[in-house]
Each structure stands twice: as C-alpha cells, then as structure tokens.
Structure 1
Amino acid sequence: MNPFKFLAALPQPVKTFYILFFIVFMVTFVSVPLGARDVTRWASGALGAVAILLGLSLLTNLNGSATAMSKYLKESKPMGVDYSGSFLASPAYARFFGGFFAVVGGMFVFTSLTSSEMWGS
C-alpha cells in the first residue's frame, strides 16, 4: 500500500488531517527519547486534537472520506489481500474506525491537559 497514493485518493480536509497527524506523531516520537517532557505533553495533546478532527471527519463521512477510504482499500489490495468482499473495506467500518480514533484522540488530549507535571505541581 503506497501512502502517497492513499493520500491522493482521499478528499480534503481528511488528506490534510492525515499529513498533520504524521507530522505531529513524528514530533512526539522524537521528543520522547530526547527527554523533552513539555514538548512531549503538548505534542501528544496536539496529536489527540488532530486525531479527533480526523476521526470526526471519518465518522461523519465528511466530503465522502469514509467512502473514499473504503474504495481505496478495495482497489489497492494491500499486501496482496483482496478486501473487496470484506467488512473492513466498507464505509461503515471506516466510520466505526473514525469514531474510535476520535475517542482515543480525546484521551490523549485529556491526559496531556491533566498531567500534574505539565503545570509544575
């Protein structure tokens, strides 16, 4: 599965949310071994916020995003597997995935905002 073809198949703003998610994920990923605790907390909060936006976009099928994602999965055959008849390649699953993505993103935001070390106490 080519990530660039995947992004090209998605409508806006979901395409932008995926790119932002990747960028913020990389910032968070790099900040952990560097020991930059404040950067890690704020970046993980930003990661959660982008995850909420991405998840809600999929959940509501914004601009046909869930439909486009399922269509790409059916046509691309990732790792040689034909998902054309599978529930995993349906818009309903993409919307279900989006809902859970938003919930997990909310947990990231909540954790980053309520962390006692963030406020110095």
Structure 2
Amino acid sequence: MLDSTHLHITSWVIALILFFVALALHNSGQAKGNKIVHMVLRLFYVVVIFTGGYLFFEYSDINAALYGVKFLLGVLVIAFMEMILVRLKKGKSTKVMWILFVISLLCTLYLGFRLPIGFNFFM
C-alpha cells in the first residue's frame, strides 16, 4: 500500500482541504470548530510527513538530490500552513507567510509531478 504515491497524495490533498476549512472557520468566527479542524489538520501533517518520508527513503536512490529538495519543500509547506493559522489566531500579519506558502507549494507540486515516481504532466 505504501509502495505507490496514492496514500501520500490523498493525505496532502485532505490536509490542504482541512487547511482551507480551518481558514474559513476562523474567518467566520467559529473558534471551537476552527480548533477541532486545526487539531485534525495537525494529525494529517504527521501522516503526510510519514508517507512522504517513506517514499523518500524508498525511492531516493533514483535521484537523491531532487527527492531531498522535494522533501524539504514539503516540510516547508506544512510549516507555512501552520504558521499562517497560528499567526491568524494571534492577529498578526500573514502576507509574507502566504507568499512563501504559495511559492513552496508550487515548487513542491512541480517537483513531485516531475520526478520519476510522480505523474507525467510535464514532459
């Protein structure tokens, strides 16, 4: 089951959906719902890192440098998601975090789909 990317892709898609749900709940003022979704999202951070780490160690012999960069960028995406939610809760500015989140997410997606075990969208 872990030998393919399906579990990893499913987990990060669910994490992104939960991230935007947590943002919507925060913007609507539902603190309790936001807190619950944020905690579930943190669980999915662990699942994403576990499945990504497994894929990294399983397939890094193909191209260790690029898989290492993708792993690092993936961890940064998770870090920026968490920083955005925490800074919103504290009432601080999130503009820089949003920019860094979008850049790191796009770079991670590009590398993930471009590398040999990803989908072949970019010929």
Q: State TM-score, norm by structure 2.
A: 0.48
Higher relative contact order (CA 8 A, sep 6+): 1
Q: State TM-score, norm by structure 1.
A: 0.49
Question: Bigger radius of gyration, 1 or 2?
Answer: 1
